[in-house]
Amino acid sequence: MENTRRLIEFMALLRDPAQGCPWDLKQDFASLLPYTIEEAYEVADAVEREDYDDLRDELGDLLLHVAFHSRIAEERGLFDFEQVAAAICSKLVRRHPHVFQGMVFENDEARIHHWEQSKELERSRKLEQSSDTAQKSALSGVANTLPALMFAQKLQTRAARQGFDWPGIDPVFEKVQEELREMREAFTVGSAAQIEEELGDLLFSVVNLARHLHVDAETALRAGSHKFSRRYQAMERLLQEKGKQMADCSFEEMDLCWEQAKRALSITA
């Protein structure tokens, strides 16, 4: 744990008013947040690329942000790095009684049910301690800063736990179709604001479909985007081999090349 201690000491030095770094001294929770989120995404990128040397480095960058936020909190008398570590250790013990307390679950379903009950109990305790009536909702605690698809899916999951959910998947498919029709109507006769609203409803319903299919919407869209990127780049290569640029091609030529790229990638996959 020597390097963990050094990290905490380095962070204190960087924040030292007399000899610290001017940039580090200017930061607070809010100003650091975009960088913290960026580091989390860079961890995800390293995992997706299976670049484990890079993953080690990116995890270090993310850990730096944990230390940075903890140092700011310590300066304000809120908490410190040790208390952050203690809090997560306590949570791990509470949520894994089968590992730390000898509890036996009959199956994975029972284990997951206990996990969800533990999380719900923790949320309930936080709500009881809160004086903000807006925080006493079943949807409270879902971070507004989450990516939109993840935010939508978490809201839907919370509502479903309270019984607010479709009884099966068929009505979910029908809802997506309904929202698609409303989207087309808004496009035909509506204003820009109506189009944006209906598009939001359509996306929300698609996320709900993903949830009912037990698919993570964020992961699915990311995979779809990567697939598009691979096919587009393959199409560019095919056009270059023909001595052409995208700007020189008609839509029909690009579409034909796109289909060729899809076939080529499916063969090599």
Strand, helix or coil for residue 100: helix
What domains are defined for the chain?
2-95 (1.10.287.1080), 148-215 (1.10.287.1080), 219-268 (no CATH)
Note the pTM of the prediction, 2 decimals. 0.68
* 179-205 residues labelled b (16+ CB within 10 A) or e (exposed): beebbeebeeebeeeeeeebeebbbbb
At residue 5 the predicted structure's pLDDT band, cuts being 50, 70 and 90, is very high
Supply φ then ψ for residue 218, to 5 degrees. Answer: -60, -45
In the prediction, which pLDDT does 269 show?
A: 54
- Whether residue 196 has pLDDT greater than 90: yes
In the prediction, which pLDDT does 109 show?
A: 85
**In percent, how much of the chain has pLDDT > 90?**
65
Summarised one tens digit per residue, pLDDT across range 21-68 is 999 999 999 999 989 999 999 999 999 889 999 999 999 999 999 999
**In percent, how much of the chain has pLDDT > 70?**
96
Summarised one tens digit per residue, pLDDT across range 178-188 is 999 999 999 99
Instruction: Return the half-sphere exposure (C-beta side, CA atoms, 13 A cut-off) of residue 256.
Output: 6
